[in-house]
Amino acid sequence: MKSILEAPFIVDMTRALDNMYSHGWDERNGGNVSVMLDPAEVAEYLDTSLVLRRIPMTFAEPALDGKIFIVTGTGKYFKNAKYDPAANLGIVRLAEGGAVAELLWGFTDGGKFTSEFPAHIMSHAVALAKSPDHRVVMHCHPTNIIAMTFVHSLDSREFTVDIWRTCTECLVVFPDGINVLPWMLCGTNEIGVATAEAMKTARMVVWAQHGIYGTGKDLDETFGLIETAEKGAEIYMKTFGHPILQTITDDNLREIEAGFGVKAREGWLD
Ligand code: 2HA
Ligand code: ZN
């Protein structure tokens, strides 16, 4: 059996968490990440017939029964994951129709997965139904995205189009846009249901006055999505309240569509 601390799924995860922390998106224990793993790859590092603990879920997602995830622990700090992956992360397999998580590795101090696991699992199910390549759900607290939810309308289309206008890259990277949810209590099944519903039409969902969810096929792609949205929000916040002398116009957005071969979400450009 190979050493699990050298497994690409541990190395990539700890690097991503470190990077997110360095960006200032994950103060204290803020944020949570989960990645759906390939069972054959996990079996190179772990005896997957050995269940360390059975952790009940607060809801069941039958579509993901049997799937294996690496996930951040509740109350854990992203900045510490690289120093002690086994205490800060866990590998779990959903069982009994998704009602139970079987712990295969990690959470060595008796901990468990993030309190936002319902939102992650429900979002994984929706994203996987949209794309078989889907693997990652990433949640964090990017400062400018959150700031924008105080001064901008929470209409998803208006929020997105104003970010698209901040720099050329935004429409290219997320033509499907960002869906925005009003403030809701986090850690609940209700916010999980609302987030998963919103994931049906976009890969990013903003939680007003809280943060953002991103989904993607790997950690780099998902990080890049959020990074680009946060860049747009930063420019929005830096220019907000200043006289705007020029911007990316609707005609320019159409030029970006043609030039990059992307298509803005149906009906979102005039
Ligand atoms: O895990 O970010 O939304 C801490 C959080 C809760
Ligand atoms: Zn959060």
Q: Is residue 190 annotated as a catalytic residue, yes or no? A: no
Which amino acids bring their CB within 6 angstroms of ligand 1? 29-32, 114, 116, 139, 186
Q: Ligand 1 centroid to 158 CA: how many Å?
A: 26
> Which domains are seen in the chain, by residue range?
1-114 (3.40.225.10), 116-264 (3.40.225.10)
Q: Ligand 1 centroid to 253 CA: how many Å?
A: 34
Q: Is the pTM higher than 0.85?
A: yes
Q: What angle do CA 240, 243, 248 make, to 5 degrees?
A: 75
Q: Of residues 61, 102, 116, 230, which has the active-site annotation?
A: 116
DSSP per residue over the chain, as a string? ---GGGSHHHHHHHHHHHHHHHTT---TT--EEEEEE-HHHHTTTS-TT---EEEE-SS--GGGTT-EEEEEBTT--GGGTTT-HHHHEEEEEEEGGGTEEEEEEE-TTS--B-TTHHHHHHHHHHHHHH-TT--EEEEE--HHHHHHHHHS---HHHHHHHHHTT-HHHHHH-TT-EEEE----TTSHHHHHHHHHHTTT-SEEEETTTEEEEEESSHHHHHHHHHHHHHHHHHHHHHTTS-------HHHHHHHHHHHT--PPTT---
> What is the pLDDT at residue 1?
86
Q: What angle do CA 136, 160, 215 make, to 5 degrees?
A: 5
Dump pLDDT digits (tens) for 70-127. Answer: 999 999 999 999 999 999 999 999 999 999 999 999 999 999 999 999 999 999 999 9
List phi, psi (to 5°) of 83: -85, -30
Give, as residue ranges, everything with CB less than 5 Å from ion ligand 2. 211
Dump pLDDT digits (tens) for 147-176. Answer: 999 999 999 999 999 999 999 999 999 999
> What is the pLDDT at residue 170?
99
Dump pLDDT digits (tens) for 173-219. Answer: 999 999 999 999 999 999 999 999 999 999 999 999 999 999 999 99
